[in-house]
Structure 1
Amino acid sequence: MNSRTKYILLILATTAFVLTIYNHNNELTETSFDSIELKYAKIFFGIGVLCAGLYFFNKTWRNLVTKIMIGAFGLSLVLNLYIFPRVYKTVQLSKIYYEYSEIETCEEMEKRFSTDLKNGQLVYFQFGIGYDLELAKTLQEKYDIKTIGMGCIIQSEKECYNKLLIEYLKEKENISSLFP
């Protein structure tokens, strides 16, 4: 195996490994922590590692095993790159949620709202059984407001933030029918 092939394999394997670990630790889908794409990425990575072991034990198969390694690590990398944007977006929303979860009073939330308003980083907290996708899409596209689903338990400090946001939008944007 020439040095160029070694470098290609090293880069493919390392990048696939790092992304697999990142995606595995941070992925949360509707049904589980491992999407089907991530499961296949892990399988292909395992095939690549197995072929790397076979490379050293059987000298007659080295050319074939090298091609299989490049293909397996490459497929693992492609699948992980496909998953990565969704996982990264989820991680960023989790960080935002964590920042707001530490705020415990309505007064602190009012201060946070004014800070968010100055920075142009407003957030709307959705409560209830179902997540209103249309409302989230409208808020994001028209007003650049991120929406975080909070589930069924209404939290009073986040409701304070929502009331301030709704008042602001009604005053500045003349919106009256967007919110229930």
Structure 2
Amino acid sequence: MHDKLKNIILTLTLIGIGLGIFSYSKMYEFFYQEFYFPAILAIILIVFFFLPKNLKIKSKFLNLTALGIGIVLVTLTTQLTLDYFGMIRTEKILTEYHELDCEKITDRFTTDLANNEMKYFSSGLVGSGNLSENIKEYGIENFDLGCMVYDNLNCYNKLVSNYLKDKKNITINELYE
């Protein structure tokens, strides 16, 4: 039992450290503070492996605690890795749409509508409130751009607003509430 648990904890530790290193290498410039807690957990697990064997065999609490820490470490580093891939996806979409002029973005809206992949690019200093949750009900993904405003993305947003008004009988302003 002890050897199996030790191997499980070792596997969780290695996976957590691997995912943590991958995420850190990709996002350290912006989010380095997010890696403090996973790093502390990894250090605790490494220390666990250097504890005397008789102490680990006698203490089930110590083993279960190490297992719990390993699970938390893998969960946190997996979330950081998924956040990274989400940021890459968002960056790719924003780059693609930002390069289109109003005429081409109309064609893109038609394609997105046919594929049920519509987007809304909210911007402004105030924030989008409940827009992200409310607009999701209509199969539209919200991209909150903060204070950046782009004319071509406003063209796309107008098409989305008109679609909601004509087909769903709701205005975009109602979705902010």
Higher normalized helix content (fraction of residues) = 2
Same fold (TM over 0.5): yes
Residue-pair matches, total: 169
TM-score for both structures, normalised by structure 2: 0.74
Question: Is 2:15–2:74's contact at 8 Å kept on the other side of the alignment?
Answer: no
Q: 1:171 to 1:152 in 2, by over 3 A?
A: same
Taking the aligned partners of 2:13 and 2:142, their CA distance within structure 1 comes to 37
- Structure 1: any 5+ residue segments left out of the alignment? 56-60
- 1:86-111: CA deviations, max 9, x gaps? 76357425413422323321222222
Q: 1:72 to 1:22 in 2, by over 3 A?
A: farther
Structure 1 stretches of at least 4 aligned residues deviating more than 4 Å after TM superposition: 25-28, 65-70, 82-87
TM-score for both structures, normalised by structure 1: 0.73
SS at 1:133's partner residue? coil
Q: 1:90 to 1:166 in 2, by over 3 A?
A: farther
Question: Is 1:122–1:146's contact at 8 Å kept on the other side of the alignment?
Answer: yes
- Structure 2: any 5+ residue segments left out of the alignment? none
Taking the aligned partners of 1:73 and 1:25, their CA distance within structure 2 comes to 26
Q: 1:22 to 1:156 in 2, by over 3 A?
A: same
Taking the aligned partners of 2:165 and 2:175, their CA distance within structure 1 comes to 10
Alignment-derived partner of residue 17 in structure 2: 17
Question: Is 2:164–2:170's contact at 8 Å kept on the other side of the alignment?
Answer: yes
| Aligned equivalent of 2:95, options 95, 101, 104 | 101
| Aligned equivalent of 1:78, options 55, 72, 78 | 72
| Aligned equivalent of 1:92, options 86, 90, 107 | 86
Look up the equivalent residue of 2:40 and give its one-letter code. Answer: I
Alignment-derived partner of residue 140 in structure 2: 145
| Aligned equivalent of 1:122, options 118, 138, 146 | 118
